[in-house]
A and B are shown apart, each in its own frame.
Chain A
Amino acid sequence: MDRELTHDEVTELLGAYALDAVEGDERDAVDRHLNECPRCRAEVGDHRTVASFLGSAGGRAPDGLWDRIAGSLEEAPPELRLAPVVPITQRRSVSLRVGAAAAAVAAGVIAGLGLEVTHLNHQVDHLAAPERPDTALLSAATQALADPRTQRVSMRSTDGRRSAEVALGSDGTGFLVAEDLPALPSDRTYQLWALANGQKISVGVLGASPHVVAFRYVPSGLSGFAVTDEQAGGVVSTQNAPVVLGNLQRT
């Protein structure tokens, strides 16, 4: 299609587009419009939901199909720009050189955390998300983790048994995804710290059982993040050793 469609022309096509009943050039033109028009995106979502009820629930897929899908996952590993999550037992098989270097860096920063008492811009805001994160938060965190423009910090405990990940955008919007931090007693909380300019700055309180948490931190001199175990309500400075700790990944 040689020209862009007007909003009205696109809206007339939305029903057919949602049913895959437009031709290639029209589909491309609608795709371009949808990138700019949330109202039309919402209408397409509604049409597709209606369409999804036209099909039957379908019962079971053929036996063996899942096995073929699972097998193809091994043949074609995902291309997402995410750090793969591997079982703890496999994490220890990471190359000795990388593992030793990471351990040395971690040990150094942990020592720094233990001794460092300077604190700036202390934030003891409560960041904790609901026990089951809402879908918008999950979606935003997923997209942030997949976005190559975000700064990434993979945090890990010194024994490799605990991990959490941070994705931080240049506008200061960040997400922490914690997969295996054990739930704390009700009188304790996890607290997130930014490591910047040789200091640790409280980013906020995460709650006793964080999974996905959004936060704001405008990066300046950022070198990494750490999570500590603190008394409920959080603290303005800490000398506790971090539960998990990680350095900024340079890409």
Chain B
Amino acid sequence: MAIDGLQEASDGALVLAIARYHQEALAEAYRRYGGAVFALARRLLVEQSLAEEVTQEVFLRLWQQPDRFDPERGSLRSYLLAQSHGRAVDMLRSETSRRRREEREARETAEGGYDIEREVLDLAIGDHVKEVLERLPSEERRAIELAYFGGLTYREVATRLDQPEGTVKSRIRSGLKRMRADLVDAGIGGVWTES
């Protein structure tokens, strides 16, 4: 595989080149998705240094274990963001960050809570995603917000919302399924297959 033309390479071709130790391919993956990976980690962790640490870990892991990316399960972007989210949540749940989290939650509460729509920025499909979010029942939307951006388990979400655990578990799943169906209906079906 020629390394020339990496900017036009598909995600799968990039990962194959990464598996072949081409650092330029990792740099291209970072150029495409480094900003989103960092932004998501920072959204959860607030502190820039921690978000940078997560971003570094995510791309180092892609370098060391490129075969963990399975293009049949989704795009490289969604894979890297899932990695970023998982690592950020691990940090949030660690004892050392508990105090920081409590401080952040107090601040979020003072500001009126999470607003998922504020998170949907810059994407070319942002308007469609906003429409989909607006159609989501509020109880499903709230459960997803607390879990995804608050880093809470569904049990913690249930406690926070004073709802049965099973109900929260179901609402998260049904909300995600509803959003997927709406996104596809909105003509964003192409997002489910890698470019």
Q: Which residues of A line the B interface, CB within 8 A?
A: 11-16, 18-23, 41-42, 44-62, 65-66, 68-70, 72-73, 76, 78-80, 82, 84-85, 132-136, 138-139, 141-143, 145-146, 177-180, 211-212
Contact = CB atoms under 8 A, between A and B. Distances in A.
A11 B171 CA distance: 13
Nearest to A56: B121
B34 to A, nearest CB: 4
Contact of A143 (B67, B157, B192): B67
Contacts of A65: 34, 38, 52, 55-56
B: contact size bracket: 35 or more
Interface of B: 1-2, 10-13, 15-16, 19-23, 26-27, 30, 34-40, 43, 48, 52, 55-56, 59-60, 63-67, 69-75, 77-79, 81-82, 85-86, 89, 116, 119-123, 125, 129, 144, 147-149, 151-155, 157, 166, 168-170, 172-177, 179-180, 183, 191-192, 194
B153 A22 contact: yes
A211 B1 contact: yes
B122 to A, nearest CB: 4
A47 B63 contact: no
Contacts of B52: 61-62, 65, 68
A13 B168 CA distance: 10
Contacts of A84: 21
Given A19-B172, A55-B81, 10 more contacts: A23-B153, A45-B72, A49-B78, A50-B176, A53-B183, A54-B116, A56-B122, A85-B21, A132-B10, A135-B71
A53 B147 contact: no
B12 A134 contact: yes
A82 B74 contact: no
A62 B48 contact: yes
B10 A61 contact: no
A148 B116 CA distance: 44
B20 A85 contact: yes
B26 to A, nearest CB: 8
B56 A54 contact: no
Given A53-B120, A56-B120, A139 B71 contact: yes
A212 B1 contact: yes
Nearest to B145: A54
5 contacts: A48-B79, A54-B144, A61-B55, A65-B52, A138-B16
Lowest 4 CB-CB distances: which A-B pairs, in order?
A58-B39, A15-B173, A135-B12, A57-B122
B106 to A, nearest CB: 21
A65 B179 CA distance: 33
Nearest to A137: B12
B55 A49 contact: no
B101 to A, nearest CB: 15
A53 B180 CA distance: 10
A15 B1 contact: no
Contacts of A85: 20-22
B13 A138 contact: yes
B29 to A, nearest CB: 11
B116 A73 contact: no
Name, among A21, A51, A62, the residue most crowded by chain B CB atoms within 10 Å (CB to CB). Answer: A21
Given A48-B74, A52-B77, A66-B34, A19 B67 contact: no
Contacts of B67: 80, 142-143, 146
A69 B56 contact: yes
Contacts of A53: 120, 123, 125, 129, 183, 191
A80 B1 contact: no
Contacts of B79: 48
Contacts of B151: 20
A57 B154 contact: no
